[in-house]
Structure 1
């Protein structure tokens, strides 16, 4: 069985570390501390230039919930078109309505803009009150995978639901566990859920540099050794 490890990378160094560690794909974003937003044009372009593994780009115009205004949807569509023109392998998106259901019309509109790129429906799915129903909607819209923790804070906590989603999908779409996936639990998740794709950031804390003075700050970066360990475990 072939399993896939997707690394969520919020910088070019993280993307390069993911590739060096043997990751099969990256999801590129920025502002990971708030769940991620769409990365800059320059970051996407340079990441594509330096990586040979598939690059998927997060399409999320702001942190917070997944009910978007018409203006935000226009921004998302423009970003999707930019990704397509730059040569990205896929995009990662999700739109909900005020009741937490998959918002079909805007999702179809955005998916149409992706054209030949693959589409992952992201963890907006975990805000859906009826995941079984939401999954069928996402399958009909033509997405290739769903990134989900089974509606729980972590994939381990949601592993029973993840197993049910994998069974329901029955090969029609990939269910990709994410949130808290680590070397300590990835084999358990694989066995328990039956999933074949997994998502994590494999990050380590980089301490603040005192030389940066008033603007010093900690940050997280993907660690190539952690990625390699996860790949080996899969």
Structure 2
């Protein structure tokens, strides 16, 4: 089982690492669902921590259908982050008919130099999640999909996530990461019922369950222990 924690400061990264998180997703603008963090922040985290670090590349929060100007920024960010020793990138793009934007995704992967890619919660806005998953499974660099099962909270999509896990297992290569609205106290049952092996936590491991508050190391440790309990 793997535990991924949203981080947007150097202090976050240090706390997550010390508390036993397996991986961090580095973002800025958490209230907007996460945008591309500064190069300086990513460099600082890399200098102070060896934790598996995945970087969000998302130029704005308006939508996931990117124009030529957006794409230019996205590609440049991928190249810049690839130069500083990160472990992977988090990215997603859709066409206007709510399908995976394969053309931009492949350009992004090339710019990233083959780094592992997590396709983020743009996946929750596709017209057909099974078809989108199968599309992504044909792209070797896409190793993970972050999803809430198209619900406001992943806890509301247990059956959907269970079905998607089976599709992913048959397709091979891709791991699903459940994220959005998960609370620590419910993790053991959620993992048991979905069969998923990776979870992504944000507000659920922060002081007062507030995404804009500091990380709570005790909640991260508790979450790690819960998801590693025998089913």
TM-score interval for Structure 1 and Structure 2 normalised by the shorter chain: over 0.9
CA 1:233–1:42: 2 relative to 1, 3 Å: same
Deviation at 1:39, TM superposition (A): 0.4
Which of 191, 198, 220 aligns to 1:227? It is 220
Alpha-carbon deviation of 1:222? 1.7
Q: Give the TM-score normalised by structure 1.
A: 0.91
Partner Cα distance (1:158, 1:114) in 2: 32
Of residues 168-177 and 85-94 in structure 1, the stretch that sits farther from structure 2 once superposed is: 168-177
2:156 is paired with a residue of what secondary structure? coil
RMSD (Å), alpha carbons: 1.6
Contact 1:206–1:221 (8 Å) recurs in 2: no
User: Of 2, 5, 30, which aligns to 1:4?
Assistant: 2
Cα separation, 2, equivalents of 1:78 and 1:183: 37
**1:75 alignment counterpart:** 73
Secondary structure in structure 1 of the residue aligned to 2:161: helix
- Whether the 8 Å CA contact 2:55–2:89 is kept in 1: the answer is yes
Q: Which runs of 4+ in 1 moved over 4 A?
A: none
TM-score, normalised via structure 2 length: 0.92
The residue number in structure 1 matching 2:135 is 137
Q: CA deviation at 1:180?
A: 1.1
Match of residue 175 from structure 2 = 174
CA contact (8 A) 2:30 2:212 kept: no
Structure 1 CA distance, aligned partners of 2:208 and 2:94?
Answer: 32
Q: What residue in structure 2 maps to residue 95 of structure 1?
A: 93
In the alignment, what sits opposite 1:38?
Answer: 36
Give per-residue Cα distances to partners, 1:25-60, cap 9 Å, x unaligned.
100001101101000011000011111111100000
CA distance in 2, matches of 1:223, 1:33: 18
- SS of aligned partner of 1:86: coil
Q: Deviations over 1:72-106 (max 9, x none)?
A: 11111111111110110000000001111111101
Per the alignment, residue 189 of structure 2 pairs with 188
CA distance in 2, matches of 1:81, 1:91: 11
User: How far off is 1:115 after superposition?
Assistant: 2.2
Paired residue for 1:211? none
2:165·2:195 contact (CA, 8 Å) conserved in 1?
Answer: yes
The unaligned stretches of length 5 or more in structure 1 are: 208-217
What residue in structure 2 maps to residue 156 of structure 1?
Answer: 155
Change (3 A) 1:206 1:226: closer
For 1:222, what is the secondary structure of its paired residue? coil
Residue aligned with 1:185, SS:
helix
- How many residues were matched structurally? 222
